[in-house]
Chain A
Amino acid sequence: SAVISQKPSRDICQRGTSLTIQCQVDSQVTMMFWYRQQPGQSLTLIATANQGSEATYESGFVIDKFPISRPNLTFSTLTVSNMSPEDSSIYLCSVLPGGSRNTEAFFGQGTRLTVV
């Protein structure tokens, strides 16, 4: 299993600013992901955070808007840059401790972001 600490839990930000969300895991994990959950919507994968290399982004998400760092196997950050009200969402960090597709994915509590 894995325990994930995600910070901040919520924030209200001015448009045009940036927010960095931190994800700390209590054990080393190979696979780490960032998801977005827009109001009333399902979860959409933003990117896979790769340790020691650039993140792999899904269609519709770009590094300039959502830069991701993964300095080691227990920590990652997601930055939401130049925010607009459309970025108001819950952002969730997820890990796959086993690294293979048949293991359980664990999720952080999420960061509820409101852009005003």
Chain B
Amino acid sequence: AQSVTQPDIHITVSEGASLELRCNYSYGATPYLFWYVQSPGQGLQLLLKYFSGDTLVQGIKGFEAEFKRSQSSFNLRKPSVHWSDAAEYFCASTGGGNKLTFGTGTQLKVEL
């Protein structure tokens, strides 16, 4: 069965600093990969997705993610974090079907 791992439960960064959130997947073939953000009291918003092709994908709000097959990773990055980026971030994948498997999430705190 497929699984998604987010090793970091909490991350704190200073505003303006760079950010990298880690995500590892477990699936025999290449999964479809997603990053979602959940702000307090809000639903989930898609930041970006990877299906195939260029392994560096650009998303909304200045986020990008890089798919590395050799490391089974799909880490999310942002060069300069803004205070409004404080939220919970979920990595997710679909394997052979339509159902999303979510990681446990990473709570991002931004220090001013």
Chain A interface (Cβ < 8 Å from any Cβ of B): 4, 31, 33, 41-45, 48, 92, 94, 96, 99-102, 104-105, 107-110
Given contact pairs A33-B99, A42-B104, A48-B99, A101 touches B94 in the complex (Cβ within 8 A): yes
Given contact pairs A33-B99, A104-B49, A110 touches B43 in the complex (Cβ within 8 A): yes
Given contact pairs A42-B105, A109-B42, A110-B43, A102 touches B99 in the complex (Cβ within 8 A): no
Number of interface residues of B (CB under 8 A): 20
Name the residue among A92, A102, A104, A105 with the largest chain B CB count within 10 angstroms.
A105
B19 contacts chain A at the CB level, 8 A cutoff: no
**Please, how many angstroms separate the alpha-carbon atoms of A30 and B90 in the complex?**
24
B70 contacts chain A at the CB level, 8 A cutoff: no
Interface pair A42/B42, CB less than 8 Å apart: no
Shortest C-beta distance, A59 to chain B (Å), equals 10
